């Protein structure tokens, strides 16, 4: 369809704000969205305790759907996480226990209530877990019910498979089944929640179109797919990946202040685009910010950071983050560092702690990311760069603070108080 040709508020909004990459049946979907409530879903696998900002565009798509009068369905991948999505990966994902997957789901799902209204109404959001149906199938039953609808020929043409094979990297039969499971999700949701639309990133196009085809072939029902463009920064970097690590959405993994700083440090050329994708600022407001030049672009970056942080963490946290940032970087004022109490001995009875443990206790990153940052020379404890071999005891606190001063790079500083 040509620019501005959509009739529905939903697709007009997605087009104007830059969300649309591909649509399977644009005319039919536009008609459905213009004349009734469209239930649409996006799946989120639970591979970590938090989603990161790379998933935020998908969450915002569900928000746009609800704002336009559609019904968003959040699909937690309790079942598919047991297999692991091979898309974009050269190696198999580590297999997680059911307990870890459930723990990850419990923390991940808290974010969605910040962006969506859940309830029993016709356009209220609903959250479901695909483990509820995928784990009920017997192996033979699954193959007989769905295996005949997929050909190896077509599956080998999908990027998730083809690129792995081209790079001569092994792909397990377990991973090969992922696209079947995702397609069955669409069929199940179409039957149980009348879902007609699956959305996702452009790398999911093959999986999404397989689900669309399955619904249309098996039940002869309407089904549509829509993907967003591959999201990179203006300089070509991967969205949400920084030298300091992933930009997590849960405050336990990344503080509201550091989240605000991420948006504040956006590249100049990205500000308007990020405002359209990740905030509710009007297009007129965004156009005014995009017209700013020179040093005034910093006002636009602050507006982006304020709006994005408010959506996730609330207006109070956004205001505190902005105030602290302006004091720290613009007025040169000494600010009160965020402090974390740390049960030094814990159940293990430790008398010494590793630098990785202190970094994690400061809420800066996970143990795994902390090790990588230490190897890269990014971590200072009590103003001294650490190499990972040191151990610290309680007596080594920084005397100025009565706590360990943990710093990552130039912009992240936290205190850890041993208790």
Q: Which two tokens stand for residue 251?
A: 């405050």
Q: What is the pLDDT along the chain (419 residues), one digit of tens a residue?
A: 445 589 999 999 999 999 999 999 999 999 999 999 999 999 999 999 999 999 999 999 999 999 999 999 999 999 999 887 776 555 566 788 999 999 999 999 999 999 999 999 999 999 999 999 999 999 888 888 888 888 888 888 877 777 777 777 777 777 788 889 999 999 999 999 999 999 999 989 989 999 999 999 999 999 999 999 988 888 888 777 665 678 999 999 999 999 999 999 999 999 999 999 999 999 999 999 999 999 899 999 999 999 999 999 999 999 999 988 887 766 555 555 778 888 888 767 778 888 888 888 888 877 778 888 888 888 989 878 888 888 898 888 877 677 888 988 766 888 888 88
The C-alpha atoms of residue 368 and residue 364 are separated, in whole angstroms, by 11
Domain membership of residue 211 (yes or no) is yes
Q: Are residues 173 and 310 in the same domain?
A: no
The C-alpha atoms of residue 163 and residue 89 are separated, in whole angstroms, by 9
Domain membership of residue 22 (yes or no) is yes
Number of domains forming the structure of the chain: 3
The C-alpha atoms of residue 260 and residue 47 are separated, in whole angstroms, by 24
Write the CATH number for 370. Answer: 3.10.290.10
The H or E element that residue 259 is part of is helix 256-264
Domain membership of residue 394 (yes or no) is yes
Taking only the tens place, the pLDDT of each residue in 155-180 is 888 777 777 777 777 777 777 888 89
Q: Are residues 177 and 287 in the same domain?
A: no
Q: Are residues 151 and 65 in the same domain?
A: yes
Domain of residue 263 covers 255-330
Beta carbons within 10 angstroms of residue 361's beta carbon: 21
Taking only the tens place, the pLDDT of each residue in 308-359 is 999 999 999 999 999 888 877 665 555 557 788 888 887 677 788 888 888 8
Q: Are residues 66 and 149 in the same domain?
A: yes
Give the phi and the psi of residue 19 in degrees, each rounded to 5: -90, -20
């Amino acid at each position: 369809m040509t620019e501005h040709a959509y009739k529905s508020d939903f697709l007009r909004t997605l087009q104007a704000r830059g969300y649309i990459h591909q649509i399977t049946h644009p005319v039919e979907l536009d008609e459905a969205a213009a004349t009734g409530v469209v239930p649409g879903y996006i799946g989120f696998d639970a591979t970590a305790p938090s989603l990161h900002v790379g998933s935020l565009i998908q969450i915002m798509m569900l928000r746009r759907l609800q704002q336009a009068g559609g019904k968003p369905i959040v699909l937690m991948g309790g079942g598919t996480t047991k297999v692991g999505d091979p898309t974009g990966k050269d190696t198999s994902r580590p297999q997680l226990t059911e307990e870890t997957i459930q723990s990850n789901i419990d923390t991940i799902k808290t974010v969605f209530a910040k962006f969506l209204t859940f309830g029993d109404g016709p356009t209220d959001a609903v959250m479901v877990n695909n483990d509820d149906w995928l784990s009920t199938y017997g192996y033979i039953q699954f193959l007989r019910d769905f295996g005949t609808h997929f050909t190896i020929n077509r599956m080998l043409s999908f990027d998730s498979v083809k690129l792995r094979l081209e790079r001569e990297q092994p792909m397990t039969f377990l991973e090969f089944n992922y696209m079947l499971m995702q397609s069955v999700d669409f069929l199940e949701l179409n039957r149980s929640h009348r879902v007609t639309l699956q959305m996702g990133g452009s790398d999911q196009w093959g999986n999404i179109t397989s689900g669309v085809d399955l619904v249309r072939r098996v039940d002869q029902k309407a089904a549509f797919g829509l993907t967003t463009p591959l999201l990179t920064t203006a300089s070509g970097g991967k969205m949400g990946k920084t030298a300091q690590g992933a930009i997590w959405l849960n405050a336990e993994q990344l503080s509201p202040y550091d989240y605000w700083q991420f948006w504040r440090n956006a590249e100049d050329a990205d500000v308007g685009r990020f405002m359209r994708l990740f905030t509710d600022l009007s297009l007129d407001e965004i156009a005014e910010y995009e017209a700013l030049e020179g040093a005034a672009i910093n006002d636009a970056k602050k507006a982006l950071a304020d709006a994005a942080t408010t959506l996730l963490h609330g207006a109070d946290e956004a205001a505190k983050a902005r105030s602290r940032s302006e004091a720290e970087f613009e007025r040169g004022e000494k600010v009160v560092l965020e402090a974390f109490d740390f049960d030094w001995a814990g159940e293990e009875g430790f008398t010494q702690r590793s630098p990785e443990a202190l970094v994690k206790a400061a809420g800066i990153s996970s143990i795994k990311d902390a090790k990588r940052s230490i190897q890269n020379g990014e971590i200072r404890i009590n103003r001294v760069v650490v190499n990972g071999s040191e151990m610290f005891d309680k007596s080594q606190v920084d005397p100025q603070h009565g706590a360990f001063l943990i710093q990552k790079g130039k912009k992240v500083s936290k205190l850890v108080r041993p208790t």
